[in-house]
Chain A
């Protein structure tokens, strides 16, 4: 996994609550067996009409936001299905940071496995960021968002922050505990399936 670097772009404001992972990547695109190439399917039914032409009324299709790496959304973003394809699509499209008042649990945890930073802020602050038209800077190291009108600090679990900043391979870290895992297995009451 790549380590998380500072991000400085304008935001893309998506004014919706309860955006579910079926909207982020519709199911017909879950049949791929690799992790790459999902960006073109991001918000597919909102971005394209039934002739696969870009819809002019959907915010991502406004060229102004083409280079934006920061998506600002409403409550409970990423609810529904556990599909990690949602995170792969957001990243492949170009987003590095998602800001929302709340995220669904599985989506939130999937973000950290891929180097995508989800930032939780209260409703009022998210609303304020929504109004930003200029570039804002996300500084994960110092847990600060720099905007035209000042700095906003954000909270994040230290362990998760470390994973993003160092781009750690989760599994390699875990396998360092091999001895503990084996000890656990020796005393486990739950038998094998077969």
Chain B
């Protein structure tokens, strides 16, 4: 029987295999950041262990770095200590670090691909659940906890139980690809399969609706695999993949011979068997807006906030969850989504802060002004994205419209730095999680695409971006 790409990568990385037990899997790339690593380095010190492969380990600071003026000291003392701790750990253990002043600094899942560190067919881990992003390049990439970070630092391996392959086909053509985006595709998928629909699986995204996407759009899709509960999400690499990685800072010297090998080997066989299947048709999908407190609580922009009994389809726990969510979000069932007013807009995060995201959002913003009651910030995913955007004049488009243009980091996606919502504030956000309090205690998050966020910023409430003239 044939194999899926995931199974081929898995098999090629088995160091030790035992029956009815987890396998020891080799890790090709380990990305490290300041929040989930300090206790792991401490563990190494306590046991007198070293980092086995510093040459396969790359660190940056992204989660709690401020996104305002970088020449100022970090005011939050605990953040400052965490950042200094990462600097010391990288120095002590010989790990390459892109620190706060590095031109390569940025969100770990944005810089990995940009620097050519992410490679097809490789295994990639990071102490961050959105590591699934790198699956867009045909890598097996997943988030791990701090104990596993320590384990990888010490041994470059992990004991893992093999997840099940899950095929998600995305078929058809979007009518207006500038208004209906990769974010809307992935939110539609999560809305349909649920936030635990992917538990225990690695998703392979396939079909015309996926191969049509650019690499940056594919990253948005794979990034949110974890929001459906999947351990990882991946896409079989094609010429777009190989072209994207060509000539980057850390692209391997023998890249072309690797590409020849990948072309022949990194495929899912025609007779491969998936344990689960789901198909989304994208011909008629609308821009999506989340209304609740998990990413599965999402609807079309043309719809209204659902009644809990309709949403739950008879499941009492889901009904209770929806009631709680609406109470937290201060929304009444039956309210049209386009009547929901917003206070804040966040364009950023490892989901949607790449150059294309900013270009698309800028087309909505150009020549218009921010609604007077809205505060909006644009936080590029990396310093490289910021620089490229500035070369295109995007910063000017945003600041002319009264948006804030900031330095790179995770920022208000999880609000570990000073970029947070105040209690009760409502935000149109291009991030990945609308959990209670995620963007600030009492803050209310609506997940949307970059163009939908930009349109909401201009109008002061959600609008169907398909009805706007895009510059």
Residues of chain A touching chain B, judged by Cβ–Cβ distance below 8 Å, are: 15-18, 20, 22-23, 26-28, 30-35, 45, 50, 74-76, 79-85, 87, 102, 104-106, 109-110, 113-114, 157-159, 169-172, 174-175, 177, 180-181, 184-185, 188-194
Contact = CB atoms under 8 A, between A and B. Distances in A.
* Secondary structure dominating the interface of B: loop
B161 A104 contact: no
A18 B321 CA distance: 8
B414 interface: yes
A74 B315 CA distance: 13
Interface of B: 15-16, 20-22, 24, 26, 28-29, 35-36, 38-39, 42-43, 47, 49, 52-53, 55-58, 63-64, 76, 78-79, 81-82, 85, 96, 117, 119, 121-122, 127-129, 143-148, 150-151, 154-157, 159, 161, 163, 195-196, 199-200, 226, 229, 231, 250, 252-254, 258, 261, 294, 317-318, 320-321, 324, 414-416, 423, 433, 435-438, 441-442
B154 A26 contact: no
Contacts of A75: 196, 317
B55 A190 contact: no
Contact of A45 (B35, B226, B320, B436): B436
Contact of B26 (A30, A114, A171, A184): A184
A84 B435 CA distance: 18
B438 A22 contact: yes
Nearest to A113: B147
Given A28-B416, A50-B423, A109 B294 contact: no
B24 A177 contact: yes
Contact of A170 (B16, B147, B229): B147
> Which 7 A-B residue pairs are closest in the complex by CB-CB distance?
A113-B147, A84-B145, A33-B38, A110-B145, A31-B78, A82-B143, A192-B55
B161 A157 contact: yes
User: Which interface residue of B22, B121, B200, B437 has the most chain A CB atoms within 10 A?
Assistant: B437
Contacts of A26: 437, 441
Given A31-B416, A84-B146, A181-B157, A191 B437 contact: no
B117 A76 contact: no
B157 A158 contact: no
* Secondary structure dominating the interface of A: loop
B15 A82 contact: no
Contact of B196 (A85, A104, A109, A110): A104
A31 B81 contact: yes
Contacts of B21: 158-159
A191 to B, nearest CB: 5
Contacts of A185: 26, 156
B156 A181 contact: yes
A159 B55 contact: no
B56 A30 contact: no
Contacts of B294: 18, 20, 79
A80 to B, nearest CB: 6
B98 to A, nearest CB: 12
A79 B52 CA distance: 31
A79 B231 CA distance: 11
A32 to B, nearest CB: 7
A43 B437 CA distance: 11
A82 to B, nearest CB: 4
Nearest to B163: A105
B229 to A, nearest CB: 6
Contact of B96 (A76, A82, A104, A193): A193
A189 B435 CA distance: 40
A33 B81 contact: yes
Contacts of A20: 294, 433, 435
User: Which interface residue of A20, A26, A32, A82 has the most chain B CB atoms within 10 A?
Assistant: A82
A102 to B, nearest CB: 6
B15 A22 contact: no
A114 B147 contact: yes
Nearest to B30: A193
Nearest to B96: A194
Contact of A79 (B35, B47, B150, B229): B229
Contacts of B423: 50
A50 B443 CA distance: 13
A17 B129 CA distance: 20
Given A17-B317, A177-B16, A31 B147 contact: no
B128 to A, nearest CB: 6
Contacts of B438: 22, 27
A172 B151 CA distance: 9
A23 B324 CA distance: 14
B20 A158 contact: yes
Given A33-B81, A109-B145, A193-B250, 15 more contacts: A18-B294, A28-B416, A30-B35, A30-B63, A45-B441, A82-B144, A104-B199, A104-B229, A110-B146, A113-B145, A170-B159, A171-B49, A184-B26, A188-B28, A189-B121
Nearest to B230: A105
Contacts of A76: 195-196, 199, 229
Contacts of B254: 191
